[in-house]
Structure 1
Amino acid sequence: MSRTVYLNGKWLDEADAKISIFDRGYTFADAIYEVTAIVGGKLIDYPGHSARMQRSLGELGMVCPLDADELLAVHREIVARNNVEEGMIYLQISRGVDDRDFVYPKEMKPTFSMFTQTKKVLENPYVKSGISVISLPDWRWERRDIKTVQLLYPTMAKTQASRQGADDAWLLEDGFVTEASSATAHIVKKDGTLVTRDLSHVILPGITRASTLDLAREAGIKVEERPFTLEEAKEAAEAFNTSATNFVLPVVSIDGQKIGDGTPGPITKKLRDIYVESRLATAI
């Protein structure tokens, strides 16, 4: 079944949506994006994704062509037009179309696009089994706090993980874990303390990360926001990733070494349960 997509104010069949080869998102990766989960036909953690989108645009000197009310309305309409009960919305805004020049052109008209993907979010089979990850060097640029479409290295890392029989990669810089290829990395120490990297330019400010940490604190779980080493991760009781469409996802091995007993841990399970309960209750 063909999808209906949104492009520059128009609703189009996906086969009819066209963007110029001179779009700066294509020539320079001069674009940002956001991904919002859909469950029960509603948007999960939407306010956080909307706010982060505005921050990313501001860091690059770009402006969203829609105001806040219009943006929410378009999100809701694309869900309705595609009859999506569970899945995701991908949004991308590029600086626009211009002849190829490294310097930002003035008075650009942004290219704004959105599409949906149907996928299992709640009944993810990896929730019960957990995933395996390998460690790789983090060779991305240093402004990872901006959610840009510069995703070549994450795709290389995830592909290498797949070729080595793993599900994902945790990236390392100066001996410390930064992130997974497209998610936030967390560990749980043997004393039950949740540890995750503190916010800076080296990681993306994950929306699911922020929600999970808030819920953990409310549940009485001690949280430490600081760098942690690969060795500390391998000695942890539990590990997990957080992301917009996988929520809280257990990590049960790193570089072939079991984390804990090699199964999803109780704190990880608890955090996923309370995240899902909380976000379904506040979905819009």
Structure 2
Amino acid sequence: MPDLAYLNGDIMPIEKATVPIEDRGYQFGDGVYEYIASYAGRLFMLGAHLDRLERSMGGLDFPPIPRSRIKAAIVDLFERAGYDRAGIYIQITRGVAPRNHAFDPTLSPQVVMTIRQINALPENLHRDGITAITVRDIRWGRCDIKTIQLLANSLAKQKALSEGHSDAIFISDQNVVREGTSSNLFIVKGGQLITHPLTPNILPGITRMAIIDICRETDLKIDESFFTTDALYHADEVFLTGTVTEVMPVTQIDGRCIGDGNVGPLTRKLYDGLRQKALAGA
């Protein structure tokens, strides 16, 4: 089965799908997106992804699209592709109109989806961890809205890769640790997990939500509070969370070893817990 695309109600091979040049997503980054993964032939946390998609659309004053229509399109595309381990990318833009900063509120949104098989990350990444750098956070002020405006994220990721690292971690001007380029961040100190609270400065990650749920179900202590680079460097463990990232240990940041430089026990426990939760179809 070829990789498939959904374009405003029609399903076709990805290479056949095109959108007009005056789509506002292309010209202004005026769009939102979601990325949903499946495990063993079942979509993971679909309802939470749809909740966030609706919040993102509302945050940009998009006209509402019936949730049932979007969900049915996702399920149809997923079933047609037939992948056990798939990633579905959903992008909704404000629509197509002659280029103008102001927009017509009656525009019809463009809905695009693609589905591809997810290839497993190299085993050594979860076994041995990754290295990262910190960068100043120059993103716009509403990171809680999952928009397609990802240039700052892309530049930070490329900087990390060009310097021989796997990812970059955004830091505010006050040295508050935010998140990774496409993932949330947790630290462990003295057996307690700490992660940035939900504010406009970070994305409300779905995997972040799952990890917090696992912590509460297993009586692991977790604190949603601000922390600085000093706490980051002196943490016992650090890990990133995301739909594809899952739970990714970070063993070195800015050339400094985290803890003893090895993947920590709580990181391993939460990675195993997330996989179990996903395979159970939660």
Please report the TM-score for the alignment, with normalisation by the length of structure 2. 0.95
Quote the residue 1:207 is aligned against: 206
Alignment of 1:1-284 (within 5 A): 2-65=2-65, 67-121=66-120, 124-173=123-172, 174-189=174-189, 191-283=190-282
The whole-number CA distance in structure 1 between the counterparts of 2:281 and 2:41 is 13
Deviation per residue, 1:213-253 (Å, 9 max, x gap): 12112211111111111111111110000111221111111
Deviation per residue, 1:30-58 (Å, 9 max, x gap): 00000011111211111111100000001
**Aligned pairs, number:** 281
The whole-number CA distance in structure 1 between the counterparts of 2:250 and 2:238 is 5
The whole-number CA distance in structure 1 between the counterparts of 2:3 and 2:280 is 28
Deviation per residue, 1:161-194 (Å, 9 max, x gap): 00110000011002111110110011000x1110
Where 1:136 maps in the other structure, the secondary structure is strand
The whole-number CA distance in structure 1 between the counterparts of 2:147 and 2:128 is 31
Letter in 2 for 1:37: A
Asked if 2 retains the 8 angstrom alpha-carbon contact of 1:37 and 1:244, the reply is: yes
Alpha carbon RMSD of aligned pairs, Å? 1.5
Asked if 1 retains the 8 angstrom alpha-carbon contact of 2:187 and 2:193, the reply is: yes
Any stretches of 5+ residues in structure 1 without a counterpart? none
Post-superposition offset of 1:102: 1.0
Please report the TM-score for the alignment, with normalisation by the length of structure 1. 0.95
Q: Which moved more, 1:120-129 or 1:90-99?
A: 120-129
Letter in 1 for 2:200: H
Post-superposition offset of 1:122: 7.7
Where 1:101 maps in the other structure, the secondary structure is coil
The whole-number CA distance in structure 2 between the counterparts of 1:63 and 1:133 is 39
Letter in 2 for 1:22: E
Any stretches of 5+ residues in structure 2 without a counterpart? none
Where 2:53 maps in the other structure, the secondary structure is helix
Where 1:194 maps in the other structure, the secondary structure is strand
Where 2:170 maps in the other structure, the secondary structure is strand
The whole-number CA distance in structure 1 between the counterparts of 2:33 and 2:252 is 30
Q: Which moved more, 1:34-43 or 1:119-128?
A: 119-128
Identity %: 37
The whole-number CA distance in structure 1 between the counterparts of 2:11 and 2:278 is 29
The 3 A distance-change label for structure 1 pair 123 and 74 is farther
Post-superposition offset of 1:143: 0.5
